[in-house]
C-alpha cells in the first residue's frame, strides 16, 4: 500500500478513536478492517502483563509474538511461561534469530560487547520483521512517559518503509495507570521489578535502577541509546551490520 494511503488510514483511525479508552482502542483495533490483521508484540517485561491481560479478555486468539533473544533473564522466561498459561494465550509465537544468522554475525555471543545496535538488530529486529510478514500491523506497549522520543506518541502510527501500522493502546497512560490496572486485576508482577528493575531487557544490557533515576536508566547504561531498534524499521541503527 502506498505510504500516502497508509497515512490516510492512520489519520482516520486516530480521529475515530481519539477519545476512546485504552481497552476500547485495543478492542476496536482488533476488529476494525482499517487496522487489518494485527499481532501483539510483547517482551513479557515489567509492564507487559497489562496488554497481555487486555488481549486475553478481548480476543484471546490474537497472535502474541515473544522475541527470545537467548540473552534474557531466566526470570523473564519463567514469567513468560506462567503468564501464557494463566492468561490462556491461544496463539503464542516464540521467535529467535536463526542459527545461521547467529553463526554468521555473533558466533561467540559477544556482539553486545562491541556493538549493541547490531546485536539488537540481529536478535530482535530481524526476527521480528520475519515474524510480522503477513500482518498489516502490530500492537505495542509503548507509552508517552517512557522516553522523550515517545512524547508525541499517538494510538495509531505509520511504520515507515514496511506498509504496516503500529497500534499503541497505552500511549496516553501514566505510570500510575499501569499500577492501578495491575492491582485492580490482581496481575502478577515480573519478579525482577521488586529487585530494582523497572524496565527489563536482555541480561547483559540491563542493570538495577536507583530510586532517584529514570526507570529506563538501567537500559544500556552509560550509552547513547534509548531504544532497542524494533521501532525504527528503516533507521540506521536497526539494520546495522545485519541483513534480514
Cite the active site residues: 228
Residues in contact with 213: Cβ distance below 8 Å, sequence separation at least 6, in sequence order: none
Q: State CA 62 to chain mean position distance.
A: 15
Distances (CA, A) of 76 to 15, 81, 82, 147, 207: 37, 9, 10, 23, 14
Query: Beta strand 164-167 with 92-95: parallel, antiparallel or unpaired?
Result: unpaired
Residues in contact with 8: Cβ distance below 8 Å, sequence separation at least 6, in sequence order: none
Place of cell 476500547: 24
Helix (H, G, I), strand (E, B) or coil at 82: helix
Amino acid at each position: 500500500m502506498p505510504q500516502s494511503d497508509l497515512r490516510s488510514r492512520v489519520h482516520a483511525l486516530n480521529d475515530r478513536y481519539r477519545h476512546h479508552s485504552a481497552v476500547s482502542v485495543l478492542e476496536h483495533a482488533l476488529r476494525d478492517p482499517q487496522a487489518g490483521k494485527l499481532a501483539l508484540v510483547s517482551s513479557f517485561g515489567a509492564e507487559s502483563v497489562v496488554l497481555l491481560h487486555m488481549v486475553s479478555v478481548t480476543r484471546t486468539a490474537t497472535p502474541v509474538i515473544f522475541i527470545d533473544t537467548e540473552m534474557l533473564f531466566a526470570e523473564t522466561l519463567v514469567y513468560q511461561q506462567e503468564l501464557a498459561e494463566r492468561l490462556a494465550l491461544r496463539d503464542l509465537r516464540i521467535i529467535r534469530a536463526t542459527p545461521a544468522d547467529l553463526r554468521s554475525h555473533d558466533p561467540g555471543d559477544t556482539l553486545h560487547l562491541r556493538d549493541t545496535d547490531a546485536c539488537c538488530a540481529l536478535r530482535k529486529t530481524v526476527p521480528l520483521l520475519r515474524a510480522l510478514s503477513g500482518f498489516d500491523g502490530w500492537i505495542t506497549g509503548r507509552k508517552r512517559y517512557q522516553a522523550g522520543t515517545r512524547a508525541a506518541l499517538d494510538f495509531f502510527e505509520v511504520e515507515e518503509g514496511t506498509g504496516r501500522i503500529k497500534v499503541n493502546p497505552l500511549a496516553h497512560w501514566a505510570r500510575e495507570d499501569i499500577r492501578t490496572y495491575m492491582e485492580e486485576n490482581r496481575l502478577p508482577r515480573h519478579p525482577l521489578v521488586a529487585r530494582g528493575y523497572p524496565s527489563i531487557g536482555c541480561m547483559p544490557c540491563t542493570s538495577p535502577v536507583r530510586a532517584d533515576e529514570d526507570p529506563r536508566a538501567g537500559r544500556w547504561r552509560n550509552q547513547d541509546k534509548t531504544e532497542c531498534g524494533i521501532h525504527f524499521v528503516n533507521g540506521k541503527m536497526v539494520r546495522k551490520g545485519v541483513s534480514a
